[in-house]
Amino acid sequence: MNENDGLALDDITRDAIDWMVLLRSGEASGAQRDAFAAWQAADARHAAAWRRIAGALDGTFAPVQAIQSRGAERDGLARHILLYRGDRRRIIRGALALAGLGLGAGAILDRRLPLAQLTADLRTSTGERRSYALPDGSSVMLNARSAVDIDFSAGRRELRLRSGELIATVAPGQPAPFVVRTAHGTVRALGTRFLVRQQAEGFQVAVLEHAVAVETRNGVRHRVGEGESAWFDAGRVEAHPAPAESLAAWTGGMLEVHDEPLARVADGLRPYLGAYLRVSPEAARLRVLGVYSLDDPQAALASLAETLPLRVQYYGPWLIVVDLR
Amino acid sequence: MGNETHRHASLLHHLYAGHQSWLLDRLRRRLGNAADAEDLAAETFAHVVAHPDPSTIVEPKAFLTTIAKRLVFHFWRRRDLEQAYLDSIAGLPEPALPSEEERALLMEALLRIDQALAGMPPVAKQAFLYSQLDELTYREIAERLSISAMSVRRYVTQGIARCVAATL
């Protein structure tokens, strides 16, 4: 049965795989099971190879099985995702760009510039925080590397957070609702000062005064009260333990973290660093507590390295690698 | 240590200085987004940093291109899997939605599996996953996919072999 599949596997490993294939068929006879037991007992290397392949499969699939086992509705979730074929058009586009074929100047410009940010109404660059007055007397403050569109036409009061983080201070006494739209849902002010922040997989919202109503794209509604914070994506809203005030510390140029993974600190510092900050997965899991300066992010990294077992290496002006020491 | 470390650092510095804008430009064209391009360029150089002896890199452009191509491929595939994940959970009732932590663990595991199984025909993947995740018998799988039980057996063998090879 050993196939010429180009995989570097030795004969004993391949035999062990064949046994596993047989035992999983649902049709192994008693005699075949006995033969398997005899094979395993015949040579210590057989048993070792068996343990190795069983361990490889368990290690690979355990997280998937654990998650699927917690809810019958999740059956087939992993299978569906792994069989997803992707977007063919994009693959072709990528191939064209690679071959440098027939692209007009406009098309090239399109690819090379971050259009999402260039066409945004309000935006900030690396290390820049800025406050903007809005037509109705409200104001919005953008954290570094953020982009927001405003739509106050036809009596609307709407902001669209395209990237980064904002704090809206809403002028009271207006008939139109004040709404921040995101890719995953909307946050509606109930007479308020509140923060919305884009994260890798969703959005964080924190209420500094009064309350807001969150409605996700799939229609889940949740009210967040003063001092509270929450996380949401298209289908779900979860309460977040961080106090709202500490999430807004960036308005004063500070990053405040209360027992959170280093990954969260890195996310907070990135918009203030010209260099790309790469944190190893092991280091990213370290828990951090403290207040760090956003306006001097290199000093923040240095002080993290003093209190945690971290090594911070600078490679040229544009790459910083943080790893466990 | 001093001298050796210094030589290493200066080699790396040369590599950046000489190829950073070239690599960034190529990645921007392929990804259509400056921020993603910067991330992948940095990730590419992070691989160079991890290289045991950068002085043996004779053709830096070819070397960087090889790494960058692999990263770009993984980048798109990760996007695809994330999109597929969002599609899959869209219909789930709220209590069944994976938490943020579960999502991260699941995506990590799925990316590893996806890489291990890359290149297998879809029907072969499907047969293997029915066996591995749903614990169906080969006869049941053969029925569902309208293929022979012999084929199922061959596909499951392929799937296991690839997962084992990927963890070596």
Q: Where are the domains of chain B?
A: 2-99, 119-168
Interchain CB contacts (distance < 8 Å): A and B: 209
CB contact under 8 A, A5 and B108: no
Q: What is the mean pLDDT of residues A148-164?
A: 87
Name residues of chain B where pLDDT drops below 70.
1-5
Same-domain check for residues A229 and A142:
yes
Q: What is the CATH number of the domain that holds A216?
A: 2.60.120.1440
CA distance B42 to A274: 12
Domain that holds residue A51: 11-82
Same-domain check for residues A270 and A226:
no
Residue of A nearest to B81 (CA): A81
Same-domain check for residues A259 and A239:
no
Per 3-state DSSP, what percentage of chain A is helix, strand, and coil (rounded to 5)? 40, 30, 30
Number of domains making up chain A: 3
> In the prediction, which pLDDT does B147 show?
94
Same-domain check for residues A200 and A152:
yes
- What class does CATH assign to B2-99? mainly alpha
Residue A90 lies in a domain: no
Half-sphere exposure of A294 (CA within 13 A, CB side): 25
Q: What is the per-residue pLDDT across A93-144, written as a single tens digit (0 to 9) for each?
A: 443 333 333 233 322 222 223 333 444 678 888 888 888 888 888 889 999 8
CA distance A169 to A208: 9
Q: What is the mean pLDDT of residues A218-232?
A: 91
CA distance B75 to chain A (A): 12
> In the prediction, which pLDDT does A318 show?
64
Same-domain check for residues A234 and A268:
no
Q: What is the mean pLDDT of residues A231-239?
A: 89
CB contact under 8 A, B106 and A63: yes
> In the prediction, which pLDDT does A7 show?
83
Same-domain check for residues A227 and A259:
no
Interface contact B122, partner A, CB < 8 A: yes
Q: What is the per-residue pLDDT across B110-145, written as a single tens digit (0 to 9) for each?
A: 988 998 998 898 899 999 999 998 889 999 999 999
Listed ranges A36-45, A82-91, A265-274, B39-48; the one with the highest mean pLDDT = A36-45
Give the residue from A140, A177, A134, A136 showing the smallest Cα distance to A162: A140
Residues of B within 8 A of A84 (CB-CB) are 80-81, 83-84, 87
Residue A105 lies in a domain: no
Residue A96 lies in a domain: no
Of A247, A265, A288, the residue at which a domain comes to its end is A247
DSSP string, A161-172: EEESEEEEE--S
CA distance B153 to chain A (A): 7
> In the prediction, which pLDDT does A169 show?
92
Same-domain check for residues A72 and A130:
no
The percentage of chain A sitting over the pLDDT mark of 70, rounded to a whole number, equals 86
Cβ–Cβ contacts within 10 Å for residue B32, how many?
21
Whether complex ipTM tops 0.85: no
Residue A261 lies in a domain: yes
